[in-house]
Amino acid sequence: MNPNDPIDPPPAPVEPAPAPRQQDSVGKGVLWALGWQLGAIVLSAPLFFTCWGLIQWFALVPVCISRRRKGYPLMAKGVLIAGFVGVLLNVGCAALILGNLGNMH
């Protein structure tokens, strides 16, 4: 057969290899969450001591959804873990402060 024969189909184009993705890990999700929490602290400084446990979720929920949609489920899990630890720390600190207010003489 002649290589220039019009009956033969043209060769299929070669697709480039996909770019390598970042490693997915819970630790990277925690780092993402800490960065976003610091940003939320700066933006919500006047309300920080009253309702920080709730304010942080306004920053963390979109980050978690973004990481999950981009194919990083472990990062999304790390964001949630950091958020829950933040809530626990907030509640613990509030309990210590409010619990000791009555003991002041």
Q: Identify residue 49 by its one-letter amino acid code.
A: F
Number of domains present in the structure of the chain: 1
How confident is the model over 96-105, as pLDDT tens digits?
777 776 666 5
Domain span at residue 39 reads 26-97
Convert the pLDDT of each residue in 70-98 to its tens digit.
Answer: 999 999 999 899 888 888 887 787 777 77
Model pTM score: 0.59
Cβ atoms of residues 5 and 58 within 8 Å? no
Q: Of the candidates 26, 30, 105, which has an alpha carbon nearest to the alpha carbon of residue 73? A: 26
Average the pLDDT over 24-52 and give the result: 76
Split at pLDDT 50, 70, 90, the class of 69 is very high
| Tokens matching residue 57 | 């979720």
Q: Does residue 11 lie within any of the structural domains?
A: no
**65 within a domain of the structure (yes/no):** yes
